[in-house]
Amino acid sequence: MLVEDVRMRRVGPNEAAACVEALADLLIDCVEGGASVSFMLPLPREKALSFWRGVAEGVARGERVLLVAEDGEGQIVGTVQMITSLPDNQPHRADVAKMLVHRRARRRGIAERLMAALDDAAREEGKSVLVLDTVTGGDAERLYQRAGWQRVGVVPKYALMPDGAFCGTTFFYKHL
């Protein structure tokens, strides 16, 4: 798969539910590959489907923005979300969540392109401050730094890896 063959797009509120199956496959692949993204091994398919149904409902309600990366055959190989439904005193801010790239599609610049598309979507939504967290020392931490994110700090033992081992979490922000 060539990076040129991958397109980034925002999933509309009326089509998010149709992406649930493919997004569940992506999530399961990432968790099985060791990604600490809120889920433990083994990740039952029904649990992954339930998570993505909730995301789709949030997109339909306008509480989330869902971006996907699709390969030349239209298969979802990556995704990222922006949570826009925040307290009244934070209308300018959004949280970034579940930046995932399928193991077979990694190291091709897809994550960078998803994050650039997320910046554009944030601007469209009137957001000027983005916040995210990631596993300390992981590939994503370096990606975010290259993309202009500012490191806030680390909380040791904040979460668990899918196999149950503790991992630190690094928090980042970005001003647009």
The stretches of the chain forming alpha helices (DSSP H) are: 20-32, 45-60, 110-124, 139-146
| Calpha distance 158→89 (Å, rounded) | 26
Phi, psi (rounded to 5 degrees) for 41: -85, 145
Residue 80 clears pLDDT 60, i.e. is over it:
yes
Helix (H, G, I), strand (E, B) or coil at 30: helix
Token look-up 């997109």 returns 59
Inter-residue contact 6 to 69 (CB < 8 Å) = yes
pLDDT attached to residue 3: 61
Residue 91 preceded by cis peptide, ω within 30: no
More confident residue, 1 or 110: 110
For 114-152, how does the pLDDT look when each residue is reduced to its tens digit (9 = 90+)? 999 999 999 999 999 999 999 999 999 999 999 999 999
Helix (H, G, I), strand (E, B) or coil at 111: helix
State the DSSP string of 69-97: EE-TTS-EEEEEEEE----TT-TTEEEEE
Cα-trace Rg, the chain: 15
Q: Percentage of residues in the chain with pLDDT exceeding 90?
A: 97
Q: Sign of torsion, CA 144 150 156 158?
A: negative
| Calpha distance 142→125 (Å, rounded) | 26
Class of domain 3-127 as given by CATH = alpha beta
- What is the mean predicted confidence (pLDDT) over 89-100? 98
pLDDT attached to residue 60: 97
Pairing of strands 129-135, 93-101: parallel
State the pLDDT confidence band at 1, using cuts at 50, 70 and 90.
low
Inter-residue contact 121 to 67 (CB < 8 Å) = yes
* Length of the chain in terms of residues written: 176
Q: Percentage of residues in the chain with pLDDT exceeding 70?
A: 98
What's the pTM?
0.96
